[in-house]
Structure 1
């Protein structure tokens, strides 16, 4: 493996003899050595062989290069960033260096089944009008154990329990409203369907939702393969876990990313049929920011969010929060 602390990978020759199209596996990582080893293992063990695996370490305190080197797999290309780029810029840097016809993102703490690429690439090859192919996924804990109740809840919440195998075109409702597509761990994307430069830094942790938006906007369709071919890990360092713990500042940042993203969606005439949904989500995010500001005793900052939310999409939740903003903090902070 070649160590680099610059902004580019040490690119190796592409295998031109393969009959299969090249797939670029994108693995951004930061300070998760044990999980990273498992993620890379699930990539190198793919039954679909024509892949390049781009691992970009975002300036971890200790470079994971020894972990990568231990695989002794020429398909792995490693880079250790000279500075911390942040999540979106790090992922974007890998995407731009990818040479595959298709790209598949693999979080450094998630896992793929061995047949993940084998089952999702053929539908894309068979139909050039598809932007991506996606599947369902398991929810696993820190040790990789499957949480079956949470898995079933996730499948139902994101409406994959009622999806039949096949093509969905257009798939805006499916991807953006119902969140059935999980590009962060359970999709293979046609690279030409996505321009990473169109993803604003303000989307933050909602970058995967914004990918769905851009792929839908391309006019191409999506193919659903109705099996759980990946494993999404929930643990103490994960974005999902940190938000669920009701940390005020984390929640505010997350909701502000939603406010930005839904504002963009509402402004796009190509999604005008879905605008009522985006208005509700925007107003809910505005209310959530207001509530978290109340918890932090920042009442003056909270009220503008609540007034705007009430004007856009009135709800009892927003009205209750606004009312509480005029009560003593000791009472409002319990809301």
Structure 2
């Protein structure tokens, strides 16, 4: 029996301490037909030295330092091009796999040979790699990964749109992955854009209701560093989804995804003193707030009101014009 070769693509940048756990988890896979393709955007030699010392003689590892650095999206795209396996799995350097991840993800192909994509559940961990089980349950439920949803997906495109598709813990046919590519246009949202386009293009997508990977929350994660700014992935995801051309049968999925994204984007506008944009977005998408029945709407309106006051105060300060004419103190006698 021919063993399916899987290319595990690992983009990394200046995080050798976290990368070690990621590589170890790849090497520990129960499925033996693997190669580990690493693209290093680091600004120094630490990552190269760690890999040379720990894995320098391992023929399964294909390491390359990018000089100059390519950036996240171009780095991932280059890994897809270098991959020689029949299937591709993407795992970011701060995340890691469970030992049977590939075996679990490959299993559906035995029953469905024409399958193109499979994915599973994620655990959420802290910086130390310890699993937070309660947070993991909430995350998977929020992204519609539930026992009732297991198996072949009736609408493959829906999987990507509603963010059921994870940023790691997925496996796909290499030719499909390369055809979709990895677009740098959407910055920190490139994972979501890729997953959506992959699922829209796939004819058959399978959800394995089992944990296969660990998503690590760290202070150095791009998503964490930008989550309160206008560069947050939620802003880019909303913009991408709003402009995405979809068939009629997927409009319900778009609305479901927007129901989650819109309140996040409204709050980001308020946090970043974009009061008018936040107010317009909230009023234009009241379904996301259950048409006024959600307390969250009034909290966000309060945030917007405060942002509006701050904007006005900053404008007055910059112009050097007082908000109101100075009051005249009539109790004092005039100076001679």
Pick one of 177, 181, 190 that aligns with 2:165.
Answer: 181
Q: Is the 8 A contact 1:194 1:211 kept in 2?
A: no
Task: Number of aligned residue pairs: give it.
Answer: 302
Q: 1:303 aligns with which of 276, 285, 300?
A: 276
Which of 219, 230, 237 is matched with 1:236 structurally?
219
- Cα distance, 1:278–1:181 mapped onto 2, change above 3 Å: closer
Q: Which structure: larger Rg?
A: 2
Report the RMSD for the aligned CA atoms in angstroms: 2.9
- Alpha-carbon spacing, 1:291–1:117, altered in 2? closer, same or farther (3 Å): same
Q: Matches of residues 100-179 of structure 1 in structure 2 within 5 Å?
A: 100-163=85-148, 165-177=150-162, 179=163
Instruction: Tell me the secondary structure at the aligned position of residue 229 of structure 1.
Output: strand
Q: How far, CA to CA, are the matches of 1:281 and 1:159 in structure 2? A: 12
Distance 2:183 2:282 in 1: 23
Tell me which residue corresponds to 2:334.
Answer: none
Q: Which deviates more, 187-196 or 314-323?
A: 314-323
Distance 2:231 2:270 in 1: 9
Matching residue of 1:6 = none
Question: Matched residue of 1:64: which SS?
Answer: helix
Deviates more, 1:101-110 or 1:282-291: 282-291
CA distance in 2, matches of 1:231, 1:278: 23
Gaps of 5+ in 2: 290-296, 315-336
Q: Partners of 1:328 and 1:67 in 2: how far apart?
A: 49
8 Å Cα contact 1:106-1:185 kept in structure 2? yes
Distance in 1 of aligned mates of 2:241 and 2:284: 16
In the alignment, structure 1 segments of 5+ residues that lack a partner are: 1-17, 295-300
Task: Tell me whether 1:30 sits opposite 2:13 in the alignment.
Answer: yes
1:290 is aligned to: 269
Partner of 1:80: 65
Alignment of 1:15-94 (within 5 A): 19-69=2-52, 70-71=54-55, 72-94=57-79
Report the TM-score, using the length of structure 1 for normalisation: 0.79
Q: Aligned partners of 1:126, 1:193: CA distance in 2, in Å?
A: 20
8 Å CA contact 2:160, 2:196 repeated in 1: yes
